[in-house]
């Protein structure tokens, strides 16, 4: 869908620089490993800061104008990065790229346009397009940088931002103004008390944090003499290409197994094991093939998770919690993206890769133990009834262990009841709430 295309184009522009950013930035005036780590994850810090302001803005002035503003800010940031000659101007550009924080606006717009029972699939599609953008960017980034120069990657990101604006106003429909009424209100405490939602928030944060860790470490370790590999920057595609292919091959079966067969927990557990294997190999490899195997394991883990994370948050959250749950999860993810880059930079500057790898393995091991507590989501159906046929007194008192929730769509004048079809009959629900 066009919204997923906009998000994937924007992320492609961001991801394109990741395979080579740390290696090329190391040669800029004023560069240190810590500052490079900040630059790799810096866009995520401003993303986290501006998530809520952009969300509020989209409620007040509309989704489309907010998306346009975000894309313009991203374009300006890309231009600043492309013309940077020192580490600090590059940092400013990266912060500006992130300040166009449309990451939460697009899922909100998808929720406006897609009905409840199809929303999980829409979120999975969005995650899948991001994962494909990620994989393609990993392969193309090193090749384009070696042939056209590092700054060309930022010019491409800017051009993709302009293309996204065109898609926004030619292909994306204006969402309807819909106000829902729910039988309870959302609090952050309620979301964090739900063990499954908390697990998904942790998973989203860990996945994105480890991503920036990897993209600080991989180019620098392979191209810096002290680590013993001595690769040329132009040869980095040789590690990212096989990783991209294997990541894409792993993503399809994982998405099918997680979504169609409702086994996301098992996919997340397997992915975390692959993360542990990845950092063990990258931390202790003495030969290039061992390090490449670690990178392949990392990409497989990341791509297996990506199509499922947003979808599972959407499924675990109640209707009135979805926006808040996605906002919290994405805010945590962006914050962890920045922390991952900064931590990797500090580790390179003050520690050894072996020590840092052991730390990552321990943290990932704790994450694995936590994820064992997660359960797979129930399968729900939806009953839609005209509001004119419903007794409001009966509806307000509707309680049943196999009914997850209900809500009223005032624009369409309907009541929607979310229930477990295998455990309660549709006619029984009608009998409980009909006039």
* CA pair distance 107, 105, nearest whole angstrom: 6
Instruction: Tell me the β-bridge partners of 86.
Output: 29
The rounded percent of the chain whose pLDDT value lies above 90 is 39
pLDDT digits (tens, 9 = 90+) for 192-216: 888 888 999 999 999 999 999 999 9
The per-residue pLDDT for 386 is: 82
pLDDT digits (tens, 9 = 90+) for 279-301: 999 999 999 999 999 999 999 99
pLDDT-derived band at 365 (thresholds 50, 70, 90) equals: very high
The per-residue pLDDT for 279 is: 96
Most confident of the ranges 21-25, 123-127, 274-278, 372-376: 274-278
Least confident interval from 36-45, 164-173, 333-342: 164-173
pLDDT at 189 over 60: yes
pLDDT digits (tens, 9 = 90+) for 30-89: 999 999 999 999 888 898 888 778 777 876 787 788 889 999 999 999 999 999 989 999
CATH number of 2-371: 1.20.1250.20
Name, in order, each residue with C-beta under 8 angstroms of 422's C-beta and a sequence gap of 6 or more: 379
Contact between 131 and 306 (Cβ < 8 Å) = yes
Mean pLDDT to the nearest integer, 253-269: 88
| Angle, vertex CA 114, rays to CA 110 and CA 118, nearest 5 | 115
Whole-number mean pLDDT of the chain?
85
The per-residue pLDDT for 181 is: 47
Helices (H), 114-232: 116-148, 151-171, 188-193, 195-223
pLDDT-derived band at 135 (thresholds 50, 70, 90) equals: confident
pLDDT at 185 over 60: no
Most confident of the ranges 102-106, 133-137, 398-402: 133-137
- Return the sign of the alpha-carbon dihedral for residues 345, 349, 353, 355: negative
Q: What is the pTM of this model?
A: 0.79
pLDDT at 432 over 80: no
Least confident interval from 110-114, 302-306, 373-377: 110-114
pLDDT-derived band at 241 (thresholds 50, 70, 90) equals: confident
Contact between 130 and 7 (Cβ < 8 Å) = yes
Mean pLDDT to the nearest integer, 100-104: 76
pLDDT-derived band at 320 (thresholds 50, 70, 90) equals: low
Mean pLDDT to the nearest integer, 292-313: 89
Query: Which segments of the chain belong to CATH 1.20.1250.20?
Result: 2-371
Q: Which residue has the higher pLDDT, 313 or 159?
A: 159
pLDDT at 167 over 50: yes
Surface-to-core class of residue 116, CB atoms within 10 Å of its CB (0-12 exposed, 13-18 middle, 19+ buried): middle
């Amino acid at each position: 869908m066009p919204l997923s295309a906009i998000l994937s184009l924007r992320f492609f522009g961001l991801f394109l620089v990741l395979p080579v950013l740390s290696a090329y930035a190391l040669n800029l005036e004023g560069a240190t490993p810590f500052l490079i780590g900040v630059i790799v994850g810096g866009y995520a810090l401003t993303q986290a800061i501006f998530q809520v302001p952009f969300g509020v803005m989209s409620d007040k002035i509309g989704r489309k104008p907010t998306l346009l503003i975000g894309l313009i800010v991203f374009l300006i940031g890309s231009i600043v990065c492309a013309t940077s000659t020192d580490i600090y101007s590059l940092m400013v550009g990266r912060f500006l790229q992130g300040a166009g924080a449309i990451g939460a606006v697009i899922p909100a717009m998808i929720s406006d346009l897609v009905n409840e029972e199809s929303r999980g699939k829409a979120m999975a599609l969005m995650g899948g397009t991001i994962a494909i953008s990620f994989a393609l960017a990993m392969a193309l980034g090193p090749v384009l940088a070696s042939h056209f120069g590092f700054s060309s990657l930022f010019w491409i990101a800017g051009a993709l931002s302009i293309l996204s604006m065109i898609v926004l106003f030619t292909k994306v429909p204006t969402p309807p103004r819909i106000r829902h009424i729910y039988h309870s209100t959302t609090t952050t405490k309620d979301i964090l008390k739900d063990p499954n939602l908390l697990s998904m928030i942790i998973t989203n944060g860990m996945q994105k944090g480890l991503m920036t860790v990897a993209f600080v470490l991989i180019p620098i370790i392979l191209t810096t003499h002290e680590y013993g590999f001595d690769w040329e920057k132009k040869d980095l595609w040789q590690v990212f290409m096989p990783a991209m292919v294997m990541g894409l091959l792993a993503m399809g079966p994982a998405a099918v197994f997680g979504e169609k067969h409702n086994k996301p927990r098992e996919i997340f557990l397997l992915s975390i094991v692959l993360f542990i294997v990845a950092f063990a190999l990258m931390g202790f490899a003495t030969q290039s093939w061992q390090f490449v195997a670690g990178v392949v394991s990392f990409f497989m883990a990341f791509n297996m998770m990506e199509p499922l994370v947003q979808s599972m948050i959407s499924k675990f959250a109640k209707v009135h919690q979805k926006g808040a749950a996605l906002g919290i999860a994405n805010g945590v993810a962006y914050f962890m993206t920045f922390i991952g880059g900064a931590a990797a930079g500090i580790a390179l500057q003050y520690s050894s890769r072996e020590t840092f790898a052991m730390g990552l393995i321990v943290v990932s091991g704790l994450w694995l133990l936590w994820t064992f507590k997660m359960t797979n989501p129930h399968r729900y159906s939806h009953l839609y009834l005209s509001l004119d046929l419903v007794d409001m007194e009966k509806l307000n008192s509707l309680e049943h262990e196999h009914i997850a929730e209900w809500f009223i769509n005032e624009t369409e004048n309907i009541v929607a009841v979310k229930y477990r079809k295998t455990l309660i009959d549709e006619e029984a629900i009608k009998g409980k709430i009909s006039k």
